[in-house]
Each structure stands twice: as C-alpha cells, then as structure tokens.
Amino acid sequence: MSKLRKLAFGALLRIRKYAGLKGRGGIYFYAIIVGSFSAFIAAIFQKCTQLILSLLTGTKGGHFVEAFEQIEPWQRIFSLSLGGVISGLILLFASKKMRKKATPYMEAVAIGNGYIPMRSNLLRSLAAIVTIGSGASIGREGPLVQTATVFASWFGRKVNMPLPRLRLFIACAAAGGMSAVFHTPLAGGLFVCEIVIGVMSIDILAPLLIASCSSYVTVITFSDPSPLYEISSAHLTQNASVALFALALGVISSLLAKLWLSALASMRAFLNGNQYWLPFRLMLTGAVVGGISIFYPEIVGNGAHIIRGIVSADFSIEQVFALLCFKIFAVALFFGMGAIGGVLTPSLTIGNMAGFLFAHILIALGVPLTTEEIIGFSLLGMAAFFTTAAAAPITSLLLVVEFTLAGKMIFPLTIGVLASYFVSKITHTKSMYAASVSGNMLPAFNKPMGEVKIGNIFRKSLDTVLISDRFSSISKRFLRSSDDVIFVTTKKKKYIGAIFRSDIIQFLKSEYLSEVIAEDIMRTDVPTLSPETCIIDAIKVFSGTRYEALPMVDTSGIFKGTIYKSDIITGFSEVLRRERVSG
Amino acid sequence: MNNIHAIELSEAMSQEACLEALLGILKASLSEEMWGELKEAVYLREDTSSTYLGNGLAVPHGRVASLGSTHIVFGISRCGVDWPSGDSKANLVALVGIDKKDVAKYLSILQKISKWRKFNPAIFDSHDFDLIKNSIISYFQ
C-alpha cells in the first residue's frame, strides 16, 4: 500500500515538475482539482448526515423536517438527544486524546501556517455529521468546508507547497465546498475572498472562482443542477418608496443581526463550560429542541425548509413569528452548548423571516403588497441580515441572487445590503467569523501604532526541537509542514538557536545524515524579539536580516513563539490604514 | 577546496590524542584565537553526542563564527580509534572546521564523506595509507 502511495506521489511530483505547476499558473490547475474534490466531499458529507437521520428516525432520510413529521413525538426527542450524546462523546474524546487541536480553516488561511491537523478535525467533522444528522438546528456548510480543507492542507503539505500557495490552495477548497453546498459558483469564491482572506484581488479571486466553478460543474454533473431556492416569483418594483423600504429593512436587519450575534456570544460565554459535561449538555439541548419540534418540526435542520415555506407562502404571520423566536433560541442553544455546525444557513433563515415579518408590518401600516413583493422583502431581509452577520456585503448580495435567481431585484437588494453594512460599521458590529479570521491579532490592530507590541501578534508555535534531536526527525517535520524555521530550545524551553529550511532543503531526503543533530545545523546569530518590542522596532530588526520569521523570547530567555515578517507587515498596514481612515 | 590534509594515525591512539593530532595540523593555517575557538567547539560538540557515523567513520567538527574558509583534516588509522569506546572504532576520522553560517556546506561535506565510505567498503582492508589518502583527497577535489 505504502509502495503504491509512493508511486502515486512520485508520479504527481513528476507531473508537477514537467507541467510547470510550481509556477504562478500552477494554482489554477490545483484549483480545478481541489474544487471538484470539494464537491465530492460535500456529497459524501450529505450522504452521511442522511444516513444518520435514517438510523435515528427510522425514516428514509431526505429532508429533516419531512422525516421529523413522520415520526412520533418521543422519537423526535430521542433522535436529537442521542445525536447530542454521541457527538458530545466524540468531541470529548477529540479534546482529551488528540495531541494536536483542531484548527479552523479560516484561521489556517487568514493568519495560520496552512496546517490543519487531520485527526482532530476529522473527529470534529464526524461529531458534526452526527449532530446535523440527528436534526440539530444548525447548518452543514461549516463542517463540510472544514472537512474539504483538512484534505487540501494535507495534500498541499505533501507536495511541499510554499506557505502563500498552501493558504490559497486551502482557500480554493473552501470556495469549492461553499459552491457545492449552495450551488453558487460566484458567491462560493467571493465568500472566501471577502470573508476569509479579506482582500479582493484578481490574483486571489481567479483561482477561488475556478475552484468554485469546478465544484459547481461536478455538482451539476452528478446531481440536481437546479438552484437551491429558485424563486422566480419574487418581485420588488423599482421606485422611490421601495428604495426607502429597502433602506429601512437594511437598517432593521442589521440591528437584528447585531442582537443575534450578541445572543450567540452570550450563549457561548454562559453555557459552554466544563468539557466533561459536553455529552450531557448536547443531550439536554437535543431534548429541549426535540420537545419544541413536537409543535414546530420546522425548527429542525438548517432552516432551508423554512425559507422554502416562506417563499412558497406556506406560513401564516403567526407561524413565522413563532418559528423566528424558536429558531433563534434553538440555534443559539446548540452553539452555546458547544455543538459543531454551520451558522450561515441559520443566519439566512432568520434574515428571511425578519424580511417576511417586515413586509407584513408594512401591510398592517396600510402599504399594499402583493405576495411576490412579500417574498421579495423576505429575500432582501435575508441578504441584509447576512451582510451584518458576516460583514460581507458583496457575498451576501450575490449569494441571495445566485441561489434564488432573483437577479431582477438587484437594485433594492443592493440598497438593503449597503444600508445594513453602513449600520454594522457605525455600530461596530463584529462579524460571526471575526474571531476565526483574526486569531489573537484583532485586539492588537485596534491600538495606536506605538502601543502595538510583538507580544500581541506572535504565533504560539511551541513545536520546538532539542539540541540533540536527530536530522531525520527534524527533516520529517520540515517535510510535513510548510514552516520556514524550527527553533531549538532546551527541555525547559530556553531558546538556543534556529534551523532554517533554506539551509537544509536540499538534504531533507538524504540517507547519509541520520547522525547529524540539531546543534550541527542551527544558527545562533538570529536576532530575538521580546514580547515588549514595539511593532516599528520589529520592522527595523526584520529589515536588517534576511529571515522571514524570528523567535520571540522573554526576559529569562524562554522561547514564547514565532514572529513572522508577513504578520508584522500585515499588522503595520492594518494599523496604518485604520489610523488613516479614522484620522 | 584547498584546505584538505591527511595524516596517518599511529597505532592504539585514544580519541583525545587523535583530536589533538588532527587539530595540530590546523594550527599553522589559523590564528591562535581562531584555533582555540575551533578546538573548544570540537570538544563541546563531542560532549553533546558522539560524532561516530558507523562503518569506521567519525566526523568530529567545530562550527566557528567568522572562520571564513573550511578546513578538513583526515586521520587514517589501521587498527581504528575508539570513538569513544571499543564498540565504535573509527578507521577514518575527518575533522571539519567550518564557519557557523555555512550550514549547507557542512551537510554537503558530511554527505560526501559518507558517500565515499559507502562506495569504498573494502578500502581499509588494504592498509595502504597512500591509496586511502589519494582516494579521499581526489574525491574531494
């Protein structure tokens, strides 16, 4: 088996060499492959959740709400509770037994080193499959995309992609995953570009779009090619009063989204406590939501059923109001208790219901609206709500247009989205992805330039080697990761020196150097930075060296982490941009 | 590479005596201060872990800042030097003095010595000092 694997990788490396895939154009080739691969991961993930649903409910799978409507009330509670216990046990096992903790793909792409540990992340994906399959009120897009990026990270490191390319490659996998979930080739790429990477450049966007298109082609080739929620009946007249209503809905949706984000954060802070209670907590959550589902089965699943119901005018205003309250409660409870799942579709569902209720308030105030216009406002609410929740106006706009085919509503949608974005800025709303894409750096970037210290923006890479560690184990680490440097410390983590990939790269696979130790290949002339070093001084130190990363060492000589030149420059330009904009 | 020397080591030599003999060859081509630093680095490295590589080959070395050029002295022993015990007898001891920043060069030299030993498995059976000396020096030049 390992021989076959070696042959396959050898062939791949040869293809890469002769096809010039190491060059700039190579990423387009990889984007096609990883996009298509992500679509298959999405299909497998979906099949697995349906299998769990069938096993727990005894139905033939399919849609969650339909399956729950077919079963007895006690079975609804049982399914969600059992799913909660099992996923809680898996998460507990992962947290206690896995040495390497799971890394969110957003962090790996935005600020990390592209390394997403395989086992811990796959265990989390398994927990998510069980939770989602049991009918939990959460989305599947988050863990599904995470699963695709785990494999992308593994592959990228196997073929020794340099760090910037590895990050982009993982981002391509994420774009492919998003495109496969929502059938949105354009919004899939934009989602990653706008939310995760945060830079709209054609050099970045092009491979992302290639990956999402490749994923979409795979999806439409092997499964249903229709849009997720085709709503050709939605309509909003393009006149001044509709523009004003769109503006008002944008503002209201943004404020609602802010409340929603606060509720999520509060629930996480108050409920997500001791890990040992996780299985019990998730079981309890399952029982509570299962109990609600006896009366409102629509709250199970990610909320897609509610969106379809609203746009088909299946629900009364009272039903939608009750569903809105219960949905917010159920999603916040699941996330607060520590369940693994996506928050994107639930956000869209809440926004959709808010838009629907807004339209009915207009009717109550005497504004005559047709059914098409009510649906139109519900879509507008969806886009505006997600704009604030994700801090991504362009993605929100295109996501809604693409998966509803409501292109003729682009004008009022744009007004609603921009109004929402404007309100989110003046209310300083942090998006639901802010923590994942900024790691521990965001607080640092909010300080004045002179106060930003290295201790705020270093990376905790405590994976060091000892002075007597053999070359074979050091080269293995370099082959497995994309790190440019490994630091040498004593057993008590006192810093000694640094081993650079560039020094030993041509010898990584040598069979003659097994007796070489870290001391033989480390450099001791590498400048060190202290946690108190100011960002400006750090730039001066970097400019005097050729190194891309330096060690951060405290006053007693203990190694604390790694400072990357790219992080320093990102931090510097971020603070500079903020200071320039805010005066 | 010009700074390559080779000497024949006398019978029943200790590890320390061998190192002194090899370092002695470099005394003429280095300043006293640099030579002292190299000697200290060689002994410190040997204290960390043995530089015996197997196959009768030992590569004691010292990495010294600002050494500039690289120096290699081969010591060839018919009966082998205990490195450091009788279980690991070195027939070829290659002392390498190298600048601290030349990491890749150090690895390249080490790889070359190991390759030479691998491709000349029976060379020490001949007990012919000149043959061994010429073989390894020509391999490096």
Check B111 against A507: CB less than 8 A apart.
yes
pLDDT, position A441: 46
CA distance A268 to A262: 10
DSSP assignment, residue A303?
S
A542: closest CA of chain B, how far (Å): 18
Q: Which residue of B has its CA nearest to A466?
A: B48
CA distance A249 to A355: 7
pLDDT, position A475: 86
Q: In the structure, what pLDDT confidence band is assigned to residue A440 with cuts at 50, 70 and 90? A: very low
Domains belonging to chain A, first-starting first, are 2-222 (1.10.3080.10), 240-432 (1.10.3080.10), 442-582 (3.10.580.10)
Please state the pTM of the whole predicted model: 0.66
The CATH number given to whatever domain includes residue B132 is 3.40.930.10
Instruction: Give the pLDDT confidence of A397-424 residue by residue, as tens digits.
Output: 999 888 888 778 889 999 999 999 999 9
In contact, B55 and B118? CB cutoff 8 Å: yes
Average pLDDT of chain A is 84
In contact, A300 and A79? CB cutoff 8 Å: no
Q: Which residue of A has its CA nearest to B51?
A: A515
> Which of A467, A503, A516 has the CB atom closest to B104's CB atom?
A503
Number of helical H runs and strand E runs in chain A = 26, 5
Q: In the structure, what pLDDT confidence band is assigned to residue A119 with cuts at 50, 70 and 90? A: confident
Closest by CA to A576, choosing from A450, A397, A396, is A450
pLDDT, position A386: 94
Q: Is B141 exposed, middle or buried (0-12, 13-18, 19+ CB in 10 A)?
A: exposed
Structure tokens at A187: 């919004």
pLDDT at A251 exceeding the cut of 50: yes
Instruction: Give the pLDDT confidence of A22-47 residue by residue, as tens digits.
Output: 556 678 888 999 999 999 999 999 89
Q: Are strands A465-466 and A485-489 parallel, antiparallel or unpaired?
A: parallel
Helix/strand/coil (H, E, C) string of A324-358? HHHHHHHHHHHHHHCCCCECHHHHHHHHHHHHHHH
pLDDT at A103 exceeding the cut of 80: no
Check A525 against B107: CB less than 8 A apart.
no
Contacts of B114 in chain A (CB under 8 A): 512-513
The set of residues, in sequence order, having a beta carbon less than 8 Å from that of B1 and lying 6+ positions away, is B70, B72, B140, B141
Q: What is the DSSP string of chain B?
A: ---EEEEEEPTT--HHHHHHHHHHHHGGGS-HHHHHHHHHHHHHHHHHS--EEETTEE--EEEETT--S-EEEEEEEEEEEESSSTTSEEEEEEEEEEETT-HHHHHHHHHHHHHHHHH-TTGGGG--HHHHHHHHHHHH-
Closest by CA to A373, choosing from A427, A409, A401, is A409
Least confident of A192-201, A336-345, A525-534: A192-201
pLDDT, position B36: 92
Check B110 against A506: CB less than 8 A apart.
no
pLDDT at A255 exceeding the cut of 80: yes
Check A507 against B61: CB less than 8 A apart.
no
In contact, A393 and A224? CB cutoff 8 Å: no
pLDDT, position A436: 61
User: Is pLDDT larger for residue A77 or for residue B13?
Assistant: A77
pLDDT at A105 exceeding the cut of 50: yes
pLDDT, position B137: 83
In contact, A137 and A112? CB cutoff 8 Å: no
Check B103 against A519: CB less than 8 A apart.
no
pLDDT at A125 exceeding the cut of 80: yes
Check B111 against A468: CB less than 8 A apart.
no
Number of domains comprising chain B: 1
Closest by CA to A286, choosing from A333, A346, A343, A332, is A333
Describe the crossing of helices A304-311 and A371-390 by its angle, rounded to 10 degrees.
150
pLDDT at A583 exceeding the cut of 50: no
Q: In this structure, how many other beta carbons lie within 10 angstroms of the beta carbon of residue B82?
A: 16
Q: Which residue of B has its CA nearest to A507?
A: B107
> Which of B48, B51, B100 has the CB atom closest to A467's CB atom?
B48
User: Is pLDDT larger for residue B126 or for residue A428?
Assistant: A428
Check A512 against B52: CB less than 8 A apart.
no
pLDDT at A353 exceeding the cut of 70: yes
Give the rounded percent of residues in chain A with a pLDDT score beyond 70.
89
Check B110 against A516: CB less than 8 A apart.
yes
pLDDT, position A460: 67
pLDDT, position A563: 85
Instruction: Give the pLDDT confidence of A217-237 residue by residue, as tens digits.
Output: 999 888 877 777 777 677 777
Check A520 against B115: CB less than 8 A apart.
no
Domain limits for position B64: 4-140
Structure tokens at A445: 């970037």
Least confident of A360-364, A473-477, A570-574, B108-112: A570-574
Helix/strand/coil (H, E, C) string of A90-117? HHHHHHHHCCCCCCCHHHHHHCCCCCCC
pLDDT at A349 exceeding the cut of 90: yes
pLDDT at A111 exceeding the cut of 90: no
pLDDT at A311 exceeding the cut of 70: yes
Q: Which residue of A has its CA nearest to B63?
A: A520
Describe the crossing of helices A73-97 and A26-57 by its angle, rounded to 10 degrees.
130
CA distance B12 to B23: 18
Least confident of A317-321, A441-445, A463-467: A441-445
Least confident of A2-11, A340-349, A490-499, B22-31: A2-11
Q: Which residue of B has its CA nearest to A500?
A: B103
pLDDT at B82 exceeding the cut of 80: yes
pLDDT, position A236: 78
B131: closest CA of chain A, how far (Å): 24
> Which of A468, A503, A510 has the CB atom closest to B103's CB atom?
A503
CA distances from A52 to A81, A109, A136, A342, A486 (A): 13, 31, 12, 18, 43
Q: In the structure, what pLDDT confidence band is assigned to residue A428 with cuts at 50, 70 and 90? A: confident
Question: Which residue is it, tokens 């109001």?
Answer: A321
DSSP assignment, residue A577?
H
Instruction: Give the pLDDT confidence of A536-577 residue by residue, as tens digits.
Output: 888 889 888 888 888 999 989 999 888 888 777 766 766 665
pLDDT, position A389: 92
Half-sphere exposure of A295 (CA within 13 A, CB side): 9
